[in-house]
Structure 1
Amino acid sequence: MKATWDIFCTVVDNYGDIGVTWRLARQLADEHALIVRLWVDDLHAFARLCPEADPQAARQYQQGVEVRHWPVDWPACETAEVVIGAFGCQLPAAYVEALAERSTPALWLNLEYLSAEDWVEGCHGLPSPQPNGLRKVFFFPGFTANTGGLLREGELLGKRAAFEQDAAARKAFLAGLGVKPAPEARLMSLFAYENAQLGHWLEALAADDQPTHLLVPEGRILADLHAWLGERLAVGEVRQRGALTLQVLPFVSQDDYDRILWCCDFNAVRGEDSFVRAQWAGRPLLWHIYVQEENAHWEKLEAFLKIYRQGLSDDAADALVALWRAWNMDRDMGEAWRGVLKHWPQLQTHARQWCLEQATRPDLATALVQFYRNWI
C-alpha cells in the first residue's frame, strides 16, 4: 500500500509558502509515487502558480496531486500517514483530534523555513511532544548534510542543461514572452519586494558600458520601478533608459519561471522558493530576504553569505557581500553593483560550482521520504 501524505499550507502575503508546498507535493507524487493531498486556504494564489487550476473547486486533481481547499469549517476526512504542516501553520483542531485517535500513529512534521544558521542542524529532526500525547517533529531544509536539503526534482539539472544547449528553444521561449534582447545585452531578472535602493541600481545599469535587458515579473517591486521611470508599464511593455532596457513580464507558472532564470545571466530573487530556484539556475544571484521585526532577517542573510562566499577570492567575496547588504540594508546599490562587475567571471564560475555542490546532497523530498521510512 502506498503511504498517504497530507500537506497543509496557509498563504500569508506572498507566494513563497504555496510555491514550496506545491513543488514538494508534485515531486512526492511524481517521483515517489505517493498519494498526496495538498490543503490550501487560498486557491486563488495557487492558481497563479498553476494556471490550469480552478480557484473555485473544493477538490481537484492537478499533476498527480489532490488539491483541496482548506475551509474554515473543516470537513470530516481520514487523516494521512504522514502529515506536514508547512512553515508553522496550525492544523485544524478537528484534524489534530483525529490524529490522536488513530490506531497507528502518523508521522507529523513541521516543515520549517529555509535557513543557513548554525542552530538549524541541532534542531533538525527534533520531536516536540504535544499536550494530547502526539509528537510533532521539526524538519529543516538546509545547505548541509545534517539538514533536510533543498527542493530539487530529479531531472531538474538535466532539463536545465538541455535547455542551455538549445539556442532555438531559448529564443522561442523568450519570444513567447515578447522578449527579444539585443545579442550583446546582459539579460537579467528582477523579482523582489519593495526596495528603496532600486533607483540607484537602475541608474548604474543605465550608465553601464554594457547594455542590460532587465525582465521584471509582476510583483511588489513594480511600484518602485514605476516611480523611477515616472510612468506605469503594463505587462509586455518595454522602455529604454541609456544602456538599460526594462520589460515587465506576466506572472508565469513555476516551470516557466525556471526557464526565465535559466535564460538570464543574473537573477535577483526574493523569499524562499525563487531563492532556491535561482541557485539551481547556476547563475550569479541577489537575494532579497523577507523582512522580519528588529531586522532578525539580517542574521539569516549573513549566515547564508558565510557559507556561500567560501571558494571566492577575498575581493570577489567582499564585493558579493557588499551587494547583498546594500540591497537588504538600504545602502548604495550603484557603488555595490559596479564592485560586483569587476569580478563577474569568477562569480559566474562560483555560482555553477555552488549548484553542483548542493546537488551532491539528497533533495528535500527524498530526505522526507527517507525520514518516514526510518521512522516506521
Structure 2
Amino acid sequence: MKARWDIFCSVVDNYGDIGVTWRLARQLVVEHACAVRLWVDDLRAFERLCPQIDVRRDAQWQEGVDVRHWPAEWPGATAADVVIAAFACQLPPDYMEAMAARDRVPLWVNLDYLSAEEWVVGCHRLPSVTFKGVQKYFFFPGFRPGTGGLLREAGLLEQRQAFQRDAGAQQQFLHALGIFPAADARLISLFAYENAGLASWLELLSTDGRATHLLVPEGRILGDVQRWLGLERLAAGDIRQRGALTVQVIAFVPQAHYDRLLWCCDFNAVRGEDSFVRAQWAGRPLLWHIYRQDEDIHLDKLDAFLELYTAGLSPAARVALIGLWHAWNTDGDMAQPWKRLLEHWPEVNLHAETWCLEQGLQADLATALVQFYESWI
C-alpha cells in the first residue's frame, strides 16, 4: 500500500508557503509514489501558481495530488500515515483527534522555515510536543549536512544546464511570454517585497553603458517601480523604457515556467523561500530579499546564509556581494554596491554555478522526508 500523506498549508505570505508545499506534494507523488492530499486555506493564492485550480471546488485532482480546500469549519477526514504541518501551521482540532484515534499513530512533522543557521542541524528531526500519544517532530530544510536539504526534483540540474546551453530554446520560451530583449541586454528578474532602495538601483541601470531588460512579475515591488517611473499604474504586459533600462511587467506563471525564466536571466532578485531556492538552482548570480522581522532578527538569518554562500569567493568579491545584499535588505543605496559587484562579475557568475552543484550533492527535501518516515516506521 502507498503511504498516505496529508500536507497542511496555511497561506500567510501569498506565495512562498503554497509554492513550497505544492512542489513538495507533486514530487512525493511523482518520484516516491505517495498518495498526497494537500490542504490549502487560500485557493485564490494557489490559483496564481496553478491556473488549473478551480477555486469553487473543495476537492479536485491536480497533477496527481488530491487538492482540498481547508475551510474554517473542518469538514472531517481520516488522518494519513504522514502529517506535515507546513511552517508551524496549527492543525484542525478534530483532525488531531483523528490522528490520536488511529490504530497506528501517524508521523507528525512540522516542516519548518529554511535557514542556514548552525543551530538548525542540532534541532533537525528532534521531537517536539505530543498530543494524546502522537509525537510531533521538527524537520528543517537547510544547506548544511545534517539538515533536510532543499526541494529539488530528479534531473532538475541536468534539465537546467541543457536549457541554458540551448539559445534557441531560451529565445522560444521568452518569446512565448512576450519577452523580446535586445541581443546585448542584461536580463534581470525582480521579485521582491517593497524596497526603498530600488530607485537608486533603477536609476543606475538607466544610465548604464549596457542595456538592461528588467522583468518584474506582478507583486509587492511593483508600487516602487511605478513611483520611479512616475506612473499611477503598471500591469502585466506593460513595457516602459528609460535610458538604458527597459522595464517589463509579466504575469504570474506556473512554477515550471518560473524556473525557466530564472534560467534565462543573467541575474535574479528573489524573495521569500521558494523563489530563493529556485534561483540557486538556476546557477546564476542572485539577490535575496529576506522577509523582514521585528528587531531585524532576519539579518542574522541572512548573514548565516552569506557566511556559507560566500566561503569560496575571493575576499574582494565576497565583500562586494555581501555589501549588495546588505544594502538591499536595509533599504540602502544600491548604486555603489551594484557597481562593485559588476567588477567581480566573472567570479561571482562562476561561483553561482559551483554553489548550485555543491548543494545538488545533498539529498533533496522530499527524499529526506520519505527516508525519515521509513526509518520511523
TM bucket, shorter chain:
over 0.9
Give the paired residue count.
376
C-alpha distance after superposition, 1:281-325 (max 9, x if no partner): 000000000011111111100000000001100000000000000
C-alpha distance after superposition, 1:239-294 (max 9, x if no partner): 11111111101111111100110000000000000000000000000000001111
Alignment map for 1:28-47 (pairs within 5 Å): 28-47=28-47
Asked whether the 8 Å contact 1:236–1:249 carries over to 2, the reply is yes
Report the alpha carbon displacement of residue 352 of structure 1 after superposing the two structures with TM: 0.1
Q: 2-side partners of 1:170 and 1:91: how far apart?
A: 43
Q: Tell me what 1:264 maps to.
A: 265
Report the alpha carbon displacement of residue 65 of structure 1 after superposing the two structures with TM: 0.3
Indicate yes or no: 2:246 matched with 1:234. no
Q: 2-side partners of 1:73 and 1:247: how far apart?
A: 42
Indicate yes or no: 2:281 matched with 1:280. yes
Q: Aligned partner of 1:9: which letter? A: C
Q: 2-side partners of 1:49 and 1:238: how far apart?
A: 23
Asked whether the 8 Å contact 1:177–1:236 carries over to 2, the reply is no
Q: 2-side partners of 1:266 and 1:13: how far apart?
A: 24
C-alpha distance after superposition, 1:120-159 (max 9, x if no partner): 0010000013252321000000001110000000021122
Q: Tell me what 1:74 maps to.
A: 74
Indicate yes or no: 2:98 matched with 1:98. yes
Q: Aligned partner of 1:315: which letter? A: A
Asked whether the 8 Å contact 1:6–1:83 carries over to 2, the reply is yes
Between stretches 342-351 and 233-242, larger displacement belongs to: 233-242
Q: Tell me what 1:127 maps to.
A: 127
Secondary structure at the counterpart of residue 77 of structure 2: coil
C-alpha distance after superposition, 1:71-97 (max 9, x if no partner): 111122111000000000000000001
Asked whether the 8 Å contact 1:170–1:263 carries over to 2, the reply is yes
Alignment map for 1:94-243 (pairs within 5 Å): 94-231=94-231, 232-243=233-244
Q: 2-side partners of 1:147 and 1:13: how far apart?
A: 24
Q: Aligned partner of 1:275: which letter? A: F
Q: Tell me what 1:361 maps to.
A: 362
Alignment map for 1:306-325 (pairs within 5 Å): 306-325=307-326
Q: 2-side partners of 1:166 and 1:352: how far apart?
A: 17
Q: Tell me what 1:64 maps to.
A: 64
Q: 1-side partners of 2:25 and 2:131: how far apart?
A: 29
Secondary structure at the counterpart of residue 346 of structure 2: helix
Between stretches 141-150 and 226-235, larger displacement belongs to: 226-235
Between stretches 330-339 and 193-202, larger displacement belongs to: 330-339
Secondary structure at the counterpart of residue 253 of structure 2: coil
Report the alpha carbon displacement of residue 204 of structure 1 after superposing the two structures with TM: 1.1
Secondary structure at the counterpart of residue 130 of structure 1: strand
Q: Tell me what 2:302 maps to.
A: 301
Q: 2-side partners of 1:11 and 1:136: how far apart?
A: 21
Q: Aligned partner of 2:197: which letter? A: Q
C-alpha distance after superposition, 1:344-368 (max 9, x if no partner): 0000000000000000000000000
Q: Aligned partner of 2:236: which letter? A: V
Indicate yes or no: 2:225 matched with 1:249. no
Q: Aligned partner of 1:264: which letter? A: C
Between stretches 31-40 and 166-175, larger displacement belongs to: 166-175
Specify every segment of 5 or more residues in structure 1 that has no aligned partner in the other structure, as ranges. none
RMSD across aligned positions (CA): 0.8
Specify every segment of 5 or more residues in structure 2 that has no aligned partner in the other structure, as ranges. none
Q: Tell me what 2:339 maps to.
A: 338
**TM-score when scaled to structure 1?**
0.99
Q: Tell me what 2:374 maps to.
A: 373
**TM-score when scaled to structure 2?**
0.98
